[in-house]
Structure 1
Amino acid sequence: MPDRLTDRLRRRVRTPRQKLVTGLLGTVLVVGLGGYGIARLTTPEDRSCAAGVERPEGSSECVGVNGDGHAFGIPELAEVAGAIGSENATLKPGEYATVALLLPLTSPDGGMRTKVLHEVQGAYAYQYRANHESNSQTPKIRLVLANTGRGNAHWKATAQQLSSMTGAPDRLRVVSGVATSSTEMREAVTALTGAGIAVVGTTITADDIANGPGAGKNRYPGLARVSPTNSDEAKALAHFGRVDAAKALLVQDTRSGDHYTDTLKSAFAASLKGAPYEPQLFTSPPDPTDEGTTANTFRQITHLICDTRAETVFFAGRHTQLRQFINALGSRGCTDRAFTILTGDEGSYLGADKKLDRDALRTKLTVRYASLAHPDAWKPAPGRPVPATGGSVVAYSTFETDIARASKKPVALADGQAIVAYDAMATAVHAIRQATPRDAQYPELSDVVTQWPQVKGSLRVQGASGWICLDNYGNPYNKAVPIVELAPDGSQRFVQIAWPEKNPPSTSCLPPKRG
């Protein structure tokens, strides 16, 4: 025992040399770890995602501009983003102009994610045609994806980045996409056109994100659109439905600042002059893709609708609230009465909405909406001839060939998003090439924005969604409006084409003079 105790004490008592070595080691460890900690504190955090893309402070989203195949963390976009990156990699410096597709690529909303995917697929389909199937016309087209984030919250940083890309090597000449009629997108359009960049909106339909006649109405110099305005959609619906205002009712969102909803309810109200009932009101959440509590309001509104003599209900609101309203009306007390809901192009989201109660569509309830495009609109069918003007079977057939390249699986076309994005890209490329002098490789930025007044007549764009004949303010004249019905099985059934001017455009497709 004494020997063991002596050994233990000997081990615990360190010699001066041992103490010196131990102290030096401790100092090295402290200094080393301290240096590492200081470096961590003083070195900026790497928030990059890919070339031109990074996570903004306080956000996990990848925001910015990229054309190298980056999918912004969205698995569904990986295939088409990779195809865009591969196509861009074949282009040589100096031989191309760039088109940016501005979208909320990282939106968490399921309907928006589907819309974004289809728009990217449609844009890529025309990029490929422009570079490989256009008789070697120049310049070639580079396509980049520009993410504005959830709810377009990061539009400003992305717009500023795009504005810095007009010189070499990018030579950005057009921004397309701009797919929602929101305040953020209006500000983005203002910033981009203010920087002298031409913009082609895909699915913006708000009347106040557009140019027009009168003082102060050219607020977005260089803006063009391939979709009809809400007013034109409402006029087309009215011509199609021949609605009796005495038996019609308007249900509308009171939340202001949403340019789609604001202009749609104004357009519907104009179509319902003389209606005996005041509008039924609801208020959507600040982010209209949130469920909120509006379902409770709709349950009450359905009771009031049953108290009226209405047969047609015009709905001015976004798709989430539209779905809630349909679900509520399917459970109404007066299921013995038939109702038709008429609404704008937000109805196109409902085909893929898993929260829609499809049994509601079996309760004498018909839901029809003004679509921006539909795959059956320009296909001949028994008893449904294709209009002689306003579009063509050949243009749509060409689109079908091109869109097949965008995905190994068939691209869903019923919501019309891929078709419209393809047409917007076609319009952008048309302007870029028309503005390019014969002895130049690419156009000047300032020359592209002046092209829109000439896109008409024989210089119109033969769009897959119909002829794109722009007036002097960049708005499509008498654009085909497919009326689509939502079927109980979730399919989106084409009914017929309606026209804002009641009849198809003439062969010349020249807009009339307006005040």
Structure 2
Amino acid sequence: MTITIGILGAAFTFFQLLASLQITKPIIWPQIKITKFPYYYIMLVSSILLVTASIWQYYKPNTITLSPNPCQTVRVQGSVSSDTVISQAPDGECIGISDGTFFFDKDLKDRPKNYNDLKLQVLQELKNGNTDQAEKLWRTSHVTNDAEMLIYLEDQRILASNSPSITIAVTTMVTGGYASVGRGILQGAYVAQKEYNSNCTLPNCTKVRLLIVNAGSGRGSSDWALYASIAANQIVQQASTFKIKAVLGWPYSGQTVGAIPVLGPAHIPIVSPSASSDSLTSSSDYFSRVVPPDTVQAIAGANYAKNTLKAKKVAVFYDLTDPYSRSLGEAFSKQFEAISHTTVIKELFTVGKTNDDQMGSLIRDSFRQAPDLDLIYYAGYVQDVSHLLNLLPDAKRYPGLEVMGGDGLYDPSDLPSGIYPPTSFGRMVFTAHAYSDQWQFAHLTNPPFFCDYTHDFDPSTPCPGPNTNKKYGYNRASTFSILTYDGLSLLLNASGKAISNLGINFDPPYLQSVIRTIKGNQAFQGVSGRISIDSNGNPINKAVVILRVDENGMTRMIGSLNCFSVQSHCGDTSP
């Protein structure tokens, strides 16, 4: 019976697809008698299934089917909410919302082999209300930098204390190829949460509870908008259950363009720590960010390329289908052409899909058009840039050739063992929105964030001290950690004003109205620079840093532009 139903279903799907293809020529079917010879029946069924699978693979729509089953393997039993908000994407990632009854980060790199089993036991203890026992159990792993677990532990302390609290959803990508970015995001969020809760920063010592929303890395940036929209819909569905005041995220523009059409109409404020595409400006009355649009860093990069690097012949590599890459590449091209009175070479690639052979072809084409090429501007992400850097011509043959890019080229790992290959050492420059050495570069005293970060994730290292600010993920904060801290600080700064005016029952639209008032004399000092938000949700004259990969493969800060200190209005004349 099951086989018969399967055959009928396959045949039905087959004919549906044929109809959808609108084939104009008639199909002549062979005359096959299946009553006397069963193997003809088998051949017919096999052919139908094969053709159906082939046509479906080619013509399948750009949607995904979610299945919760594989994501149940690490779920805490007895949870009411997690059954409806955790699902599995086609690439195996678990996406959705966790309130501490599910953990997303299962990568065991630099962690004990039994760590995931231990985390499941910890979450079970949290579910049972045994917060102290849960923390003691987790500490036996000697893993100190798992911000996901630290957030769940902090959340449970809040619930156990019955303290007044507000809830913020933190969106991230803590699974898949961009998991290191996601870990940095959660670290920055935890430092802000812990500081606000420990110091009773909000009125009436209101606590900050964080929900973790994982949208995954997908099979490439082409999945980001779709995955983010699915996670955003889950946030909207659960907003009243969890009393979500706002959303912190997403990290990338490609994700944010998928989330805004869902969260904006639901009147849920969104603050992105790092999404920078120009297309996001004025995209929603409920969207803000703590980094400037790509045009700002692209103009800074073009000016630096022309005036400092003395570049004359430039090729710009960018992806028309990726919001970040397109706006960055187009803005750089426009500015460089305007100030140099030359035409840049434009090479198109596809983020996450261009391989070495294709990239090599683009490089050869650039040199064919300009044999004396002295700068390649790569508007892409660090996860892809190795395809370009590994194929760079020898520095001895082309000593003047440099590679430049935007903040997407920042590598939040320990160099020189990171992503940048030796072919890039001493010849790679990029702009960014934050850097751990930014305060020292400006000859200013570090804010508490840096030592709080070390105390939270590397408690055995004294801070300040000679061994701090050395290892990313432990005692040295990545750009994503810094920007996420500032993004959550913006939301909590506004939440404090909302609580003072209306109490903790303020609604999300009111919070959004308060966010728009944080400018002029209401601006505050963030770790990445002065935080002041204009009517379009963009930061006003926000600082941009310039970084270089030196001859030893280490990233060094070499410059800073725009407004860093809150002590100066920096062109912001708002009251």
TM-score per shorter chain, which class? 0.7 to 0.9
Q: Say if 1:490 and 1:57 are closer, same or farther in 2 by CA, change over 3 A.
A: closer
What does residue 374 of structure 1 align with? Answer: 435
What does residue 173 of structure 2 align with? Answer: 104
1:250 is displaced (CA, Å) by 2.9
**Residue of 222, 226, 245 corresponding to 2:290:** 226
CA-to-partner distance for each residue in 1:148-181, whole Å, 9 max, x for gaps? 123334323321221133325x211111120111
Q: Say if 1:136 and 1:261 are closer, same or farther in 2 by CA, change over 3 A.
A: closer
| Structure 1 residues 204-243: aligned runs within 5 Å | 204-211=275-282, 219-243=283-307
| Structure 1 residues 187-336: aligned runs within 5 Å | 187-211=258-282, 219-243=283-307, 247-253=312-318, 255-273=319-337, 275-284=341-350, 287-288=352-353, 291=355, 293-301=357-365, 303-304=367-368, 307-308=371-372, 310-331=373-394, 335-336=397-398
What does residue 20 of structure 1 align with? Answer: none
What does residue 27 of structure 1 align with? Answer: none
The CA distance in 1 between the partners of 2:369 and 2:418, in whole Å, is 23
What does residue 463 of structure 2 align with? Answer: none
CA-to-partner distance for each residue in 1:451-501, whole Å, 9 max, x for gaps? 2321112321311111111111110111111111012433211112122x8
What does residue 337 of structure 1 align with? Answer: 399
Judge conservation of contact 1:97–1:142 (CA < 8 Å) in 2: yes
SS of the aligned residue for 1:455 comes to: coil
Judge conservation of contact 1:436–1:444 (CA < 8 Å) in 2: no
| Structure 1 residues 106-505: aligned runs within 5 Å | 106-107=175-176, 109=177, 112-135=178-201, 137=203, 138-151=205-218, 152=224, 153-168=226-241, 170-182=242-254, 184-211=255-282, 219-243=283-307, 247-253=312-318, 255-273=319-337, 275-284=341-350, 287-288=352-353, 291=355, 293-301=357-365, 303-304=367-368, 307-308=371-372, 310-331=373-394, 335-349=397-411, 356=419, 358-361=421-424, 366-379=427-440, 385-386=442-443, 393-394=444-445, 396-408=446-458, 411-412=472-473, 413=476, 415-438=478-501, 440-499=503-562
Q: Say if 1:321 and 1:105 are closer, same or farther in 2 by CA, change over 3 A.
A: closer
Judge conservation of contact 1:204–1:227 (CA < 8 Å) in 2: yes
The CA distance in 2 between the partners of 1:297 and 1:350, in whole Å, is 29
1:368 is displaced (CA, Å) by 0.8
Whether 2:131 is the aligned partner of 1:80: answer no
Judge conservation of contact 2:105–2:174 (CA < 8 Å) in 1: no
What does residue 390 of structure 1 align with? Answer: none
The CA distance in 2 between the partners of 1:63 and 1:440, in whole Å, is 33
Give TM-score scaled by structure 2 length. 0.69
User: Over aligned residue pairs, what C-alpha RMSD do you find?
Assistant: 3.1
1:302 is displaced (CA, Å) by 6.0
The CA distance in 2 between the partners of 1:190 and 1:397, in whole Å, is 36
What does residue 67 of structure 1 align with? Answer: 99
Q: Say if 1:119 and 1:71 are closer, same or farther in 2 by CA, change over 3 A.
A: same
Q: Say if 1:356 and 1:144 are closer, same or farther in 2 by CA, change over 3 A.
A: closer
Select between 454-463 and 405-414 the one with higher mean Cα deviation: 405-414
Q: Percent identity?
A: 19
**Residue of 127, 150, 158 corresponding to 1:91:** 158
Judge conservation of contact 1:163–1:195 (CA < 8 Å) in 2: yes
Judge conservation of contact 1:96–1:442 (CA < 8 Å) in 2: no
What does residue 466 of structure 2 align with? Answer: none
Q: Say if 1:442 and 1:405 are closer, same or farther in 2 by CA, change over 3 A.
A: farther
The CA distance in 2 between the partners of 1:414 and 1:492, in whole Å, is 14
Structure 2 residues without counterparts, runs of 5 or longer: 1-67, 112-118, 120-145, 219-223, 460-470
The CA distance in 1 between the partners of 2:499 and 2:558, in whole Å, is 41
Q: Which amino acid aligns with 2:99?
A: G
Judge conservation of contact 1:200–1:223 (CA < 8 Å) in 2: yes
More helix by share: 2
What does residue 124 of structure 2 align with? Answer: none
| Structure 1 residues 49-64: aligned runs within 5 Å | 49-50=74-75, 51=79, 52=82, 53-56=85-88, 60-64=92-96
Q: Say if 1:368 and 1:415 are closer, same or farther in 2 by CA, change over 3 A.
A: farther
What does residue 142 of structure 2 align with? Answer: none
1:426 is displaced (CA, Å) by 0.5
| Structure with more contact order per residue of length (Cα contacts < 8 Å, sep ≥ 6) | 1
Select between 470-479 and 321-330 the one with higher mean Cα deviation: 321-330
CA-to-partner distance for each residue in 1:249-271, whole Å, 9 max, x for gaps? 13222x42211011011211121
Judge conservation of contact 1:469–1:509 (CA < 8 Å) in 2: no
Q: Say if 1:359 and 1:404 are closer, same or farther in 2 by CA, change over 3 A.
A: closer
SS of the aligned residue for 1:237 comes to: helix
The CA distance in 2 between the partners of 1:85 and 1:91, in whole Å, is 10
Give TM-score scaled by structure 1 length. 0.76
Judge conservation of contact 1:123–1:422 (CA < 8 Å) in 2: yes
Structure 1 residues without counterparts, runs of 5 or longer: 1-43, 212-218, 387-392
1:236 is displaced (CA, Å) by 2.2
Select between 293-302 and 365-374 the one with higher mean Cα deviation: 293-302
CA-to-partner distance for each residue in 1:320-363, whole Å, 9 max, x for gaps? 4432222222437x72431232210011028658685633135x
Matched length: 438
SS of the aligned residue for 1:284 comes to: coil
CA-to-partner distance for each residue in 1:185-228, whole Å, 9 max, x for gaps? 302122112210111101111110122xxxxxxx3111110112
Select between 80-89 and 298-307 the one with higher mean Cα deviation: 298-307
The CA distance in 1 between the partners of 2:69 and 2:449, in whole Å, is 45
Judge conservation of contact 1:122–1:419 (CA < 8 Å) in 2: yes
SS of the aligned residue for 1:150 comes to: coil
Larger Rg: 1
1:299 is displaced (CA, Å) by 4.6
